[in-house]
């Protein structure tokens, strides 16, 4: 009967229940047996009343699986929702599983059964939800078609099984036995006898070291062990009997007494004494003053201390009386041996499986006024041909700029919708709610996030009750659903494609609010006091200047429209602010600056540029304060639609503003030019001036042209396999240039707190930290951050004790690194030391240029002297064949005479041969 019951319990439902997914009634009996702590005879499972059911060994064609919540959501097999105990079956398509393993690789939950899925003959696999953990996991997969049919084709239970299950259900429930009091049987005495106790006071050893040896460098050398006395210590594998002392007798005594401790306290007694305060000054009389001034003692005193007083005054002028010597001394001691705090530490990382999946981060920017908020631009990792082939697919997934907050590293706080992939974007210095970006198709885009400022700020403070902005168009009845969704902000204005760049925009910058430029490129005073002009560059051989104010022609047309009441503007269905409505699809550049080649025809292709009056990162605190003041003054922002482009005749020309810029090109060149337009003598039109200097310093495209935040005339350029440091005004070449590295340099940035430190990103995911005060021929340290190429680096100062370095890679991950104390704390007089270092390098460069010119002149003089010498030598006529033959014959005769003479002196020539006539 046991065998029969076992056979019946393993039967499955009939074929009719294949599609319905119903479980047989026998499964209910199995569950009830588990709950009661008993099992059916011959069921093959071990059940204990005080432990859980042990999982059975699965058959060869059954494979248990662990599916995470994401996988269950992807394949619609969520436990107790899509699949239940009554309907545990789920049919999965083979191609969907293969696509999941191809997309997520080893992260896929089906990766352990990869070979099974590849070898499966059918197109559909059976996944079963195992709520009872029969095989140890919550799901199992049928590995063959036979197992699939066996599981699905289950027979209905017989009447005997039903009667047996009902009888098992009526069995009494097992009760836990009640605990009894513990009865001692003498085991505590044995435990006390076997316990080990200290008989003597433990010895304490103290190891010390000379202070001057702390942190000293250890040098290992080879030497003979037998050469020194203590060079060899033997460690035998057996016990040394000479050091074994056997204790024969010991006399000890103990006495238990309470610890005694005497203490007392009393205030210190002070004798009372009378004190007073004088509040009326006592002064000499006029007669006493006159006697004192002309007294001999005063003259002698002044004569004796005059020299010392003069020396003290000179020292006050030479030395800084407010310099803290203790602070400087502590700084030197802290750097001694403090090598642990030198590496960049991972503080936080941001990535999104939906928006940044299979994308790379092209540019990053910290929010100027909200700490802990950073924006990143994500782009597709496609070449030009793939982008064209997949253009229809790319239209379905819009390009975005993601706003991340330290308080929520999983979900982005804000999304900026872009017409195409963004390679660069910048916050407006005078109004951080205004953002400008450059697209890959050459368009310039503007956003206004004024309505979402509180949203982003509340996410930074960690407030749980976020509210959607008032101007977000939410349908009635769907407010709760949209409350937790990330808001998407559409761009306010975009330039027309025919008026923009013909290549991807690689750099964009705001002109400061202190000036603006005219159509001729002349700097003029800015009466509005806000940033209203933008500079962009692209590899289409041009740099464009844009003005975000409505032009004067557009202003007249707008007034004409206002006079017509019947023409009303259409309602905005997308909720886009009308801040830059006057520019949308009609925006044109103010100036176009082209870069013609100096020696040959053609033009340079700019990628990055740097202005002398650019807004540096070390001035960001002033910018933040100024932007906040502008926001308060203008009650939340600037009405750019009401601004107008003034006439250049009524504005003052600023002569102290530099119009010279450094530009890095696609061919690794660095050019120095002026953006001012000059008048052509032939046509009379305004054209761009040619660059004044050109340097070939890099063996690849220039990715970075950054000015030092401490020295406005020091520029860092990164491109190809090298980087270089330039000084504006020194046109002989770079004052410092690195050697070719093993990996390509992708980006670089100066430190915001130390003048001699800068960071270089590599294509292998490493970051090189260069400290010019420590080393100039190699980086002070190299640290690996990621496995992919680094695309952007941006440092940021949160406080004096916390500096961050944002690093992005091609895999779409944003790494936030905390800069250690040694890399953010400048040493004493570091700025002056770096200034003197740059001056020395300039003098070395000038000396090198002079020596090169001297050597070139010397070589030229030597070649001219050799040429003159050749011209002064007499012309020797050529000899005839008869003359040459006579000279050869004469030389032979001379040789014979010399031979005969030598033989005669040595006595080797016979006398008869001596008398013979000469031949």
Please list the residues that pair with 510 across neighbouring strands: 534
290 has pLDDT over 60 = yes
Count of other CB atoms within 10 angstroms of residue 449: 23
Confidence of residue 475 (pLDDT cuts 50, 70, 90): very low
DSSP string of 439-487? ETTS-EEEEE-GGGHHHHHHHHHT-S-----TTS---TT-HHHHHSSPP
- Cα dist. 875→463, 531, 872, 880, 884 in Å? 101, 80, 9, 16, 18
How crowded is the C-beta side of 707, counted as CA atoms within 13 Å? 20
343 has pLDDT over 70 = yes
Residue of 639, 654, 628 whose CA lies nearest to 526: 654
Residue of 685, 702, 804, 801 whose CA lies nearest to 748: 702
| Higher pLDDT among residues 241 and 180, named by residue | 180
- Hey, where are the domains in the chain? 62-151
**39-43, 393-397, 835-839, 868-872 — which one is most confidently predicted on average?**
835-839
Confidence of residue 766 (pLDDT cuts 50, 70, 90): very high
Q: What is the model's pLDDT at position 715?
A: 95
Confidence of residue 831 (pLDDT cuts 50, 70, 90): very high
Q: How far is Cα 613 from Cα 603, in angstroms, rounded to an integer?
A: 25
Count of other CB atoms within 10 angstroms of residue 522: 19
- According to DSSP, residue 417 is labeled E
Q: How far is Cα 667 from Cα 502, in angstroms, rounded to an integer?
A: 18
pLDDT tens-digit map of 619-668: 444 544 555 555 444 445 677 877 888 777 778 888 888 889 999 999 99
pLDDT tens-digit map of 193-250: 888 888 888 888 888 878 887 778 878 888 777 777 666 666 767 666 666 667 778 7
- According to DSSP, residue 772 is labeled T
Q: What is the mean pLDDT of residues 387-416?
A: 84
pLDDT tens-digit map of 88-98: 888 888 888 88
Specify the 3-state DSSP secondary structure of 827.
coil
Q: What length does the chain have?
A: 919
- Cα dist. 889→241, 801, 894 in Å? 103, 99, 9
Q: What is the model's pLDDT at position 328?
A: 64
User: Residue written as tokens 């059916």?
Assistant: 40
85 has pLDDT over 70 = yes
Please provide the average confidence, as pLDDT, over all residues in the chain.
Answer: 79
Please list the residues that pair with 781 across neighbouring strands: 769
Q: What is the mean pLDDT of residues 351-368?
A: 90
How crowded is the C-beta side of 237, counted as CA atoms within 13 Å? 0
Q: Encoding tokens for residue 434?
A: 């205004």
Sheet holding 488-489, edge to edge: 359-366, 373-380, 399-405, 414-418, 488-489
Q: What is the model's pLDDT at position 166?
A: 59
Please list the residues that pair with 818 across neighbouring strands: 345, 804
- According to DSSP, residue 353 is labeled T
Cβ density class 767-789: b for 16+ within 10 Å, e for less: bbbbbbbeeeeebbbebebbebb
Confidence of residue 404 (pLDDT cuts 50, 70, 90): very high
Q: What is the model's pLDDT at position 483?
A: 47
Give the distance, in angstroms, between the CA of residue 98 and the centroid of all CA atoms in the same chain: 34
Count of other CB atoms within 10 angstroms of residue 352: 20
596 has pLDDT over 60 = yes
Q: Decide the pairing of beta strands 660-665 and 606-611.
A: antiparallel
Say if residues 434 and 629 touch (Cβ distance below 8 Å).
no
DSSP string of 697-753? --SS-EEEEEE-SS-TTEEEEEETTEEEEEETT--SS-SEEPPPPSS-EEEEEE-SS
Strands (E), 49-166: 62-65, 89-93, 124-129, 139-142
17 has pLDDT over 80 = no
Query: Cβ neighbours of residue 82 under 8 Å, at least 6 residues apart?
Result: 72, 76, 90
DSSP string of 239-274? --GGG-----------------------PPP-----
Burial class of residue 33 in the structure, from the number of CB atoms within 10 Å of its CB (0-12 exposed, 13-18 middle, 19+ buried):
buried
Residue of 42, 63, 41, 39 whose CA lies nearest to 51: 39
Q: How far is Cα 291 from Cα 287, in angstroms, rounded to an integer?
A: 6
400 has pLDDT over 70 = yes
Q: What is the mean pLDDT of residues 352-371?
A: 90
Count of other CB atoms within 10 angstroms of residue 140: 24
pLDDT tens-digit map of 157-175: 555 555 555 555 566 677 7
Q: What is the mean pLDDT of residues 297-301?
A: 91
Q: How far is Cα 510 from Cα 368, in angstroms, rounded to an integer?
A: 14
Q: How far is Cα 752 from Cα 797, in angstroms, rounded to an integer?
A: 8
Question: For the ranges 250-254, 366-370, 390-394, 634-638, which has the lowest average pLDDT?
Answer: 634-638
Q: Which helix (H) or strand (E) holds 418?
A: strand 414-418
Percent of the chain with pLDDT over 70: 78
Q: What is the model's pLDDT at position 408?
A: 87
Confidence of residue 707 (pLDDT cuts 50, 70, 90): very high
Confidence of residue 427 (pLDDT cuts 50, 70, 90): very high
Q: How far is Cα 63 from Cα 142, in angstroms, rounded to an integer?
A: 7
pLDDT tens-digit map of 542-575: 999 999 988 765 444 444 444 444 444 445 556 6
Q: Decide the pairing of beta strands 677-679 and 686-688.
A: antiparallel
Q: What is the model's pLDDT at position 134?
A: 81
User: Residue written as tokens 């001694």?
Assistant: 336
Confidence of residue 735 (pLDDT cuts 50, 70, 90): very high
Q: How far is Cα 433 from Cα 197, in angstroms, rounded to an integer?
A: 73
Q: How far is Cα 171 from Cα 33, in angstroms, rounded to an integer?
A: 10
Q: What is the mean pLDDT of residues 422-430?
A: 93
**28-42, 265-279, 862-876 — which one is most confidently predicted on average?**
862-876
Q: What is the model's pLDDT at position 383?
A: 81
Q: How far is Cα 876 from Cα 483, in angstroms, rounded to an integer?
A: 105
Angle value at C-alpha 73, between 71 and 75, nearest 5 degrees: 70
Q: Decide the pairing of beta strands 422-427 and 434-439.
A: antiparallel
**Phi-psi domain of 668 (left: phi exceeds 0; alpha: psi -120 through 50; beta: other):** left
Q: How far is Cα 649 from Cα 374, in angstroms, rounded to an integer?
A: 42
Confidence of residue 365 (pLDDT cuts 50, 70, 90): very high
Q: What is the model's pLDDT at position 562?
A: 47
Residue of 772, 722, 711 whose CA lies nearest to 748: 722
**224-238, 672-686, 775-789 — which one is most confidently predicted on average?**
775-789
DSSP string of 653-713? B-TTS--EEEEEETTSEEEEEE--EEE-TTT--EEEPPPSEEEE--SS-EEEEEE-SS-TT
Confidence of residue 718 (pLDDT cuts 50, 70, 90): very high
């Amino acid at each position: 009967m046991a065998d029969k019951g076992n056979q019946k319990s393993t039967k499955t439902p009939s074929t009719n229940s294949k599609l319905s997914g119903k479980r047989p009634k026998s499964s209910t009996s199995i569950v009830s047996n588990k709950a009661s702590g008993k099992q059916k005879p011959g069921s093959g499972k071990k059940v204990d009343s005080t432990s859980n059911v042990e999982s059975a060994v699965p058959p060869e064609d059954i494979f248990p699986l662990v599916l995470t919540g994401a996988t269950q959501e992807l394949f619609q097999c969520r436990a107790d929702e899509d699949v239940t105990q009554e309907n545990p079956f789920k049919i999965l398509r083979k191609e969907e599983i293969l696509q999941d393993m191809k997309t997520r690789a080893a992260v896929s939950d089906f990766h352990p059964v990869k070979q099974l899925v590849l070898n499966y003959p059918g197109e559909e696999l059976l996944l079963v939800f195992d709520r009872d953990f029969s095989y140890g996991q919550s799901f199992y997969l049928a590995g063959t078609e036979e197992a699939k049919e066996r599981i699905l084709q289950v027979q209905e239970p017989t009447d005997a099984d039903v009667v047996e299950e009902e009888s098992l259900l009526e069995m009494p429930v097992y009760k836990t036995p009640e605990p009894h009091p513990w009865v001692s049987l003498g085991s505590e005495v044995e435990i006390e006898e076997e316990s080990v106790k200290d008989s003597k006071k433990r010895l304490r050893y103290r190891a010390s070291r000379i202070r001057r040896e702390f942190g000293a460098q250890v040098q290992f050398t080879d030497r003979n062990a037998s050469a020194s006395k203590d060079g060899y210590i033997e460690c035998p594998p057996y016990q040394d009997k000479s050091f074994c002392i056997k204790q024969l007798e010991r006399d000890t005594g103990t006495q238990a007494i309470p610890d005694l401790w005497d203490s007392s306290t009393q205030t210190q007694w002070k004798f009372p004494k009378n004190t007073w305060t004088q509040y009326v000054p006592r002064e000499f009389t006029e007669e006493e003053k006159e006697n004192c001034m002309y007294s001999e003692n005063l003259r002698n005193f002044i004569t004796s201390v005059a020299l010392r007083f003069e020396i003290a005054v000179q020292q006050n002028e030479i030395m800084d009386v407010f310099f803290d010597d203790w602070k400087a001394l502590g700084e030197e001691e802290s750097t001694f041996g403090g090598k642990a705090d030198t590496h960049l530490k991972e503080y936080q990382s941001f990535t999104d499986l939906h928006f940044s999946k299979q994308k790379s981060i092209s540019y990053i920017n910290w929010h100027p006024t909200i700490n802990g908020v950073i924006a990143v631009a994500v782009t597709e990792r496609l070449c030009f041909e793939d982008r064209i082939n997949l253009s229809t697919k790319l239209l379905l997934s819009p390009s975005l700029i993601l706003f991340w907050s330290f308080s929520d590293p999983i979900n982005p706080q804000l999304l900026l919708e872009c017409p195409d992939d963004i390679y660069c974007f910048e916050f407006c210095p005078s109004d951080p709610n205004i953002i400008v970006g450059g697209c890959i198709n050459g368009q310039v885009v503007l956003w206004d996030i004024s309505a979402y400022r509180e949203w982003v700020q509340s996410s930074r403070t960690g407030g749980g009750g976020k509210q959607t902005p008032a101007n977000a168009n939410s349908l009635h009845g769907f407010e709760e659903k949209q409350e937790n969704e990330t808001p998407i902000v559409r761009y306010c204005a975009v330039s027309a494609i025919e008026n923009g760049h013909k290549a991807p925009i690689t750099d964009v910058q705001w002109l400061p609010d202190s000036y603006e430029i005219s159509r001729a490129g002349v700097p003029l005073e800015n009466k509005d006091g806000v940033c209203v002009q933008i500079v962009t560059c692209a590899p289409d051989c041009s740099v464009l200047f844009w003005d975000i104010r409505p032009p004067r022609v557009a202003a007249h047309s707008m007034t004409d429209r206002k006079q017509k009441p019947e023409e009303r503007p259409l309602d905005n269905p997308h909720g886009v602010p009308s801040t830059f409505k006057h520019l949308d699809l009609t925006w044109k550049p103010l100036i176009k600056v082209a870069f013609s080649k100096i020696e040959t025809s053609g033009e340079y292709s700019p990628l990055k540029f740097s202005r002398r009056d650019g807004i540096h990162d070390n001035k960001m605190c002033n910018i933040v304060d100024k932007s906040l003041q502008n926001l308060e003054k203008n009650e939340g922002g600037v009405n750019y639609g009401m601004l107008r482009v003034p006439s250049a005749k009524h504005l003052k020309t600023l002569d102290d503003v530099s119009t010279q810029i450094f530009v890095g090109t696609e061919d690794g060149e660095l050019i120095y030019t002026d953006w001012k337009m000059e008048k052509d003598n032939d046509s009379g039109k305004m054209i761009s001036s040619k660059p004044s200097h050109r340097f070939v310093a890099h063996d690849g495209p220039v990715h970075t042209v950054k000015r030092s935040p401490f020295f406005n005339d020091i520029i860092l350029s990164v491109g190809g396999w090298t980087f270089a440091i330039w000084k504006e005004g020194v046109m002989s070449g770079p004052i410092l240039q690195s050697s070719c590295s093993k990996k390509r340099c992708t980006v670089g940035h100066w430190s915001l707190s130390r003048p001699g430190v800068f960071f270089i990103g590599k294509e292998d995911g490493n970051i090189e930290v260069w400290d010019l005060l420590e080393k100039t021929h190699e980086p002070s340290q190299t640290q690996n951050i990621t496995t992919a190429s680094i695309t952007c680096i941006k440092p940021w100062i949160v406080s004096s004790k916390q500096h961050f370095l944002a690093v992005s890679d091609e895999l779409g991950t944003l790494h936030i690194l905390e800069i250690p104390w040694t890399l953010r704390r400048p040493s004493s007089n570091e700025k002056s030391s770096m200034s003197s270092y740059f001056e020395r390098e300039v003098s070395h460069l000038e000396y090198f240029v002079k020596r090169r010119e001297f050597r070139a002149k010397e070589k030229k003089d030597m070649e001219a002297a050799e040429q003159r010498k050749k011209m002064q030598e007499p012309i020797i006529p050529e000899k005839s064949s008869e003359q040459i033959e006579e000279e050869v014959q004469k030389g032979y005769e001379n040789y014979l005479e010399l031979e005969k003479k030598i033989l005669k002196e040595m006595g080797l020539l016979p006398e008869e041969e001596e008398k013979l006539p000469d031949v």
